[in-house]
Amino acid sequence: MNTDTFAYRHIGPREEDLLEMLKVVGVKNLEELISQTIPDDIRLEEDLNLSTAMTENEFLNHIRDLARKNKVFKSYIGLGYHPTILPGVIQRNILENPGWYTAYTPYQAEIAQGRLEALLNYQTMISDLTGLPIANASLLDEATAAAEAMSMFYGARSRDKKKAGASKFFVSIHCLHQNIELIKTRSEPLGIELVIGDHREVNLSEDYFGALLQYPAADGEIFEYDAFMADAEKFDVQVAVAADIMSLVLLSPPGEWGAKAVVGTTQRFGIPLGFGGPHAAYFSTTEDYKRFIPGRIIGQTVDRDGNKALRMALQTREQHIKRDKATSNICTAQVLLAVMAGAYGAYHGPIGLKHIAQKIHFHTVSLSEGLNRLGYTQVNQNFYDTLRIELGQVDKEEIRSRAIAKEINLRYISAHEVGISINETTNMEAIEELLEIFAEAKEASAPKIKLLEVSVIPESLKRTSSFMEQSVFNRYHSETEMMRYLKALERKDLSLNHSMISLGSCTMKLNAATEMLPLSWPLWANIHPFAPTNQTLGYRELIANLERDLAEITGFHAMSMQPNSGAQGEYAGLMVIRAYHQSRGDSQRDIALIPSSAHGTNPASAVMAGMKVVVVKSDEAGKIDVEDLRAKAEKYSANLAALMITYPSTHGVFEERVREITQIIHDNGGQVYMDGANMNAQVGLTSPGAIGADVCHLNLHKTFAIPHGGGGPGMGPIGVAEHLASFLPGHPLVKTGGKNPISPVSAAPYGSGLILLISYGYIKMLGMRGLKASTQYAILNANYLKERLHGAYEVLYSNENNRVAHEMIIDCRPFKKESGIEVTDIAKRLMDYGYHAPTVSFPVAGTVMIEPTESESMQELDRFIEAMLSIRREMAEIHNGNFDTENNPLKNSPHTMQQLTSDQWDFPYDRKTAAFPLDYLYQNKFWPSVRRVDDAYGDRNLICTCEPIESYMEEEA
């Protein structure tokens, strides 16, 4: 046996366990299981054409060589992306720590209090800095956050009769290019009329429902928006402001001068450039919009004992759950990055942030003074960190060649103007270097400049309000304190480094350390997304290679790496389909057929792409009702745009008739969109191309090993068949996409470029054989679980051979009748056994969906099975009358250490039954930090920021 392969590490079951597992499943070998699971007519005839697997060591050498093809220049480009300093304590304890990065979205609040607290800190910081009371826990990037604000205003118009017909949205020409372009993409299918212009010239009227401004503007000018805001107020126009988070430390926050939403990126708070991402976008708004806000909000509530606890608030109002009534499709966001930005805020505190923000400004002032002395004109009347320099007689190429020689990137605005954005890393040496460039271009000598510690921000624009006075931002400024605070939070969360997280549809597999290591390397981390092409050759080679491999895996012609989540991929794919129909004069095609079992993002994305959703039924066996599908496809054949299907279905089964289904759609003029969330059951065995799909997205944070990060980052690239390739999304600043590209769907040309390294490593190290084996073992592990649970728990759906794909739905509804136990009780009781619940009540209410993935060993599966069977016995005890129907270990779960060690124990069962029901728990116990949280209470009393400092003072008093 060759033990020096990555597959040996990635795949859980050992060779010696395989026979036992096959026996349980009742097959001779893996191939027999696969042939009973996947329909013959969609099996790949040939193996994937991928390069042979690298060992982990070979991969690290390879990715280091590739990194050397990138050049890290000092970046003064700005435009929403700046070099930063990531504090070591955050890098080591969060970014590089599986305790944080392998966590799932915090749906199970009792074992997620750590990241919930970290996100509440983040929301509080955003709320304070922007001057608005409600902030969400992150969005994907600044440009999409700006578009979300537009959609939120648009969706909320109907509350006001006068505004119900208003369809104009004003966008300032001074906004960042990517913000303007993305708003174009998002407005058009909704029928929003964009007016792009100068805010000083536009005549607002009743016809406008909203507007977007940039603060400071793209070229650095800080406008006083008073007159515009007064007009907006007069005509009841809702204004969103895209603001630079660092500048808000010193500038009067938009929330204080009338903005109804403030959006932007928190990249500047310690997050590496990463060639465009991942970074957490922020979004804050007024109380008025709390039921309309996109993304997730963390709120306070209480647990069973009335203790304070945190949870995701308004969960059932989470936008995409509203399906075709949603105004946003955001599901995965940027949790890990929000946690890091919040930690940066806590580590520096208000005083540290002021110091950093001022330092940036003072260096900018000093540079401006130096350039002035050299006779250059600085055009911005008011600036924070960005200068706009008129070159006069000097040619911009004179500047450019000198800058390049010093390994410096500036922003070249026009033949006579350059832009310079100063950042946290800039010191006086760097300022001198910049001055030399401008001096040499004039054959002058650089003036000697000292750091000018003066602010040139006029009083009227200065921030006067205090911020971040809560204790969390004022306690952890020494590294020891910070390290311990982060550890204390981490300990409250159950992640993959404790036990299996068998979340159906979410594929929580191994996120290998070797895949993650290169993310911290400067040659990958410190590259600006708009850096010149010849400095990003390593990235370009990596992306081209990854595109080729993913095209091979999906059976498609071309890929776009732009969408930075699965839902964004859905949106991008549907927009491509829309462009295709339009190019053929078929712009009436706007019907999207979507099965009733689809993920909520599918209908939400369809509506955002201007489509009307028609739901297709499922039959009793959980499959698409093909006759219903045929009838609807024919009925709408003149207007059919697309079918969206998940394959294998969200019911965990490979539908035998899938080729017939895709044929029906094509016969009626539609395109087939495949939701790729379940690709972990396909890779190497079948493909979206093989089933007849035209487009699919891949959740790289599911099948392709990017960690979930507690709810993000993710990547959702799309693959398309040849006839759709020319429409793949473009970008205003970097050439990418097809020949007739749709406008961008993300702020950065390649989405969250940095994390593509992970999926690249995953594919390169597994190679063709390892990828195929991974899929086989994912299917084996699922069927093994199914057989072992059989008799205690029954699966709801399986195929004709009684097989499930890589996941299965277990029906928990019968227990309700039998013993009064609901699916939530089982989910919470699993915590006492050291496990995170599988997916609860999706896609069928009252069920759990279990997906073990290939990375889990037989021993871990057995432990989980033991826990599930023990819970089943507890249910039987209730049924038999040995446990009370209300006061039993399931209803009271989870149990905390505080309860267990309390002198009082009033429960009719013993402590061991409560917290150590199985022996393995003595070796490895996880303690939920709160008792069961009260969801309704939290929604009724929404508190989504940390409490003000006074409440702590009361506590101490």
Ligand X SMILES: *Cc1c(COP(=O)(O)O)cnc(C)c1O
Nearer to ligand X, 318 or 874 (CB): 318
Binding pattern to ligand X, positions 651-680, x when CB under 6 A? ------------------------x-x---
How far apart are alpha carbons 116 and 109 in whole angstroms? 8
Stretch that binds ligand X, among 158-166, 428-436, 560-568, 732-740 (CB under 6 A): 560-568
According to the binding rule CB under 6 A, does residue 505 interact with ligand X? yes
Q: How many C-beta atoms lie closer than 10 Å to residue 50's C-beta?
A: 20
Nearer to ligand X, 558 or 674 (CB): 674
What token pair was written down for 566? 């699965």
Stretch that binds ligand X, among 489-497, 562-570, 792-800, 919-927 (CB under 6 A): 562-570
Nearest distance, CB of residue 705 and ligand X, angstroms: 14
Nearest distance, CB of residue 839 and ligand X, angstroms: 9
Sole binder of ligand X in the list 78, 83, 220, 566 (CB under 6 A): 566
H-only helix segments in 731-822: 756-789, 813-819
Nearer to ligand X, 123 or 650 (CB): 650
For the chain, the straight-line distance linking the first and the last C-alpha, in angstroms and rounded, comes to 67
According to the binding rule CB under 6 A, does residue 714 interact with ligand X? yes
Stretch that binds ligand X, among 350-358, 516-524, 563-571, 911-919 (CB under 6 A): 563-571
Q: Which DSSP state fits 921?
A: G
According to the binding rule CB under 6 A, does residue 599 interact with ligand X? yes
Nearer to ligand X, 238 or 839 (CB): 839
Nearer to ligand X, 211 or 330 (CB): 330
If phi > 0 it is left, if psi is from -120 to 50 it is alpha, else beta; for residue 846 that is left
According to the binding rule CB under 6 A, does residue 650 interact with ligand X? yes
- Measured on CA atoms in the order 872, 875, 881, 882, is the torsion positive or negative? positive
Nearer to ligand X, 210 or 595 (CB): 595
DSSP strand pairing (281-285 vs 134-135): antiparallel
Sole binder of ligand X in the list 716, 737, 852, 938 (CB under 6 A): 716
Sole binder of ligand X in the list 185, 565, 649, 853 (CB under 6 A): 565
Nearest distance, CB of residue 567 and ligand X, angstroms: 3
DSSP strand pairing (718-720 vs 558-560): antiparallel
Residues 6+ apart with CB under 8 A from 944: 120, 123, 127, 134, 135, 297, 298, 299, 300, 313
Q: Would you mind telling me the total number of residues written for the chain in this entry?
A: 957
Nearer to ligand X, 600 or 738 (CB): 600
Nearer to ligand X, 546 or 604 (CB): 604
Stretch that binds ligand X, among 151-159, 209-217, 559-567, 815-823 (CB under 6 A): 559-567
According to the binding rule CB under 6 A, does residue 567 interact with ligand X? yes
According to the binding rule CB under 6 A, does residue 646 interact with ligand X? yes
How far apart are alpha carbons 234 and 204 in whole angstroms? 9
Asked if 280 contacts 156 with a C-beta cutoff of 8 angstroms, the reply is no
Nearest distance, CB of residue 611 and ligand X, angstroms: 16
Nearest distance, CB of residue 628 and ligand X, angstroms: 21
According to the binding rule CB under 6 A, does residue 698 interact with ligand X? no
Tracing tokens 């800058």 back to the chain, one arrives at 403
- The H-or-E segment that residue 671 falls in is strand 671-675
How far apart are alpha carbons 777 and 806 in whole angstroms? 9
**What phi and psi values does residue 262 have, to the nearest 5 degrees?**
-125, 130
According to the binding rule CB under 6 A, does residue 699 interact with ligand X? yes
Residues 6+ apart with CB under 8 A from 105: 296, 312, 332, 335, 708, 710, 711
Nearest distance, CB of residue 600 and ligand X, angstroms: 8
**Nearest to 79, CA basis, from 258, 249, 216, 210:** 216
DSSP strand pairing (612-616 vs 238-243): unpaired
Sole binder of ligand X in the list 601, 686, 776, 893 (CB under 6 A): 601
Nearer to ligand X, 261 or 706 (CB): 706
Number of residues that bind ligand X (CB under 6 A): 15
Looking at residues 324 to 353 of the shown chain, list those that interact with ligand X (rule: CB under 6 A). 331-332
Tracing tokens 């136990």 back to the chain, one arrives at 821
Nearest distance, CB of residue 102 and ligand X, angstroms: 16
Nearer to ligand X, 86 or 593 (CB): 593
Q: Please list the residues that pair with 645 across neighbouring strands.
A: 674
How far apart are alpha carbons 838 and 501 in whole angstroms? 7
Site residues, ligand X (CB under 6 A): 331-332, 505, 565-567, 599, 601, 646, 650, 675, 677, 699, 714, 716
